[in-house]
Amino acid sequence: MAHLIAPSLLSANFLRLEEDIAMVNQSEADWLHLDIMDGIFVPNISFGFPVLNRVKKVTEKPMDVHLMIVDPDRYLEKFRESGASIITVHYEACTHLHRTIQAIKQTGAKAGVSLNPHTPVLLLKEIINEVDLILLMSVNPGFGGQKFIEQTYRKSRELKTLILDHGSDALIEVDGGVTLENARSLVDAGVDILVAGNTVFGSPDPTESIHLLKHC
C-alpha cells in the first residue's frame, strides 16, 4: 500500500479555512487531520464541534480526528456525528483502553490509539489486533512547528515488528515535525500515514508540498 498524506488543519490559516480545505480537496492528500485539544491533557486549546461541523460540509477527504483530551469516551458519538471517519485517542488518557476502542468502533468510525514520545510501543501488545491505526507522536503534543524527535524512527520499526508478529492490520501514523527531508526515512521505517502541518500550510505551494510528500 502506498503511504497516505494527512495535512493537519491546525496549521491552516483560520481566516480562510474554507479556502485551505478546498486546496486539500483538490490535492493528492488522502485524509484531513484535525487535532482536538482541551487545554488539560495538553497545554493548548484548538477547536471543537462548531468548527468540525463546518469542516464536514466542505471537506471531500476523510476526517482523521486526533483527540488530545481527557475522558474522550464522553464525546465519541458526537465526534462521529461531526464527521470523524477515524477517531484516535491517547493511550495515556484512557483508563479502560479496550473499552474505548470498542466504543469508537460502535460509532462506525475507525479506531486509533496515539502514543506520546515517552510511551513504549510494547504497551500496545494486548490491543494491537483491535485497532485500525497507531499514531506515534514525534513531538510532544500540544503545539505545531516543533522539532522532530529522532527516536521516532526506532519506535516505528519496533511498532512495525509488533504489528507483523501479531498479524495485525494496524497502520502506523506519525504526527509532528514531518518534513520533505525526513518523509522518505519515515516511510522506510514502516510509517503508513504522514501527518504534515507547517510543511504543507507553511509552504509557498501547499499542493506541490503534498505531491512531494506523497511521492517521496
Residue 210, pLDDT > 80, answer: yes
Element containing residue 174 per DSSP (H, E) = strand 171-175
How many domains are contained in the chain? 1
pLDDT band at 143 (very low <50, low <70, confident <90, very high): low
Q: What average pLDDT does this structure show over 5-9? A: 98
At 59, which CATH number?
A: 3.20.20.70
pLDDT of 173 strictly over 80: yes
Q: One of 20, 35, 64, 192 is an active-site residue; which one?
A: 35
Based on the residue annotation, tell me whether 64 is a catalytic residue of this protein. no
Q: Is residue 146 scored above 70 in pLDDT? A: no
Helix (H) or strand (E) holding 22: helix 17-26
Q: What range defines the domain where residue 99 resides? A: 4-214
Percent over 90 (pLDDT), the chain: 96
Mean pLDDT of 27-36: 98
pTM for the structure as a whole: 0.96
Determine the pLDDT at residue 147: 82
Residue 201 has pLDDT above 90, yes or no: yes
Confidence of residue 107 (pLDDT cuts 50, 70, 90): very high
Beta carbons of 60 and 83 less than 8 angstroms apart: no
What region does 137 belong to: left with phi over 0, alpha with psi -120 to 50, or beta?
Answer: beta
Catalytic annotation present for 132: no
DSSP 190: T
How many angstroms separate the CA atoms of 177 and 198, rounded?
A: 8
Mean pLDDT of the chain: 96
Check whether 98 has a pLDDT greater than 90. yes
pLDDT at 129 over 80: yes
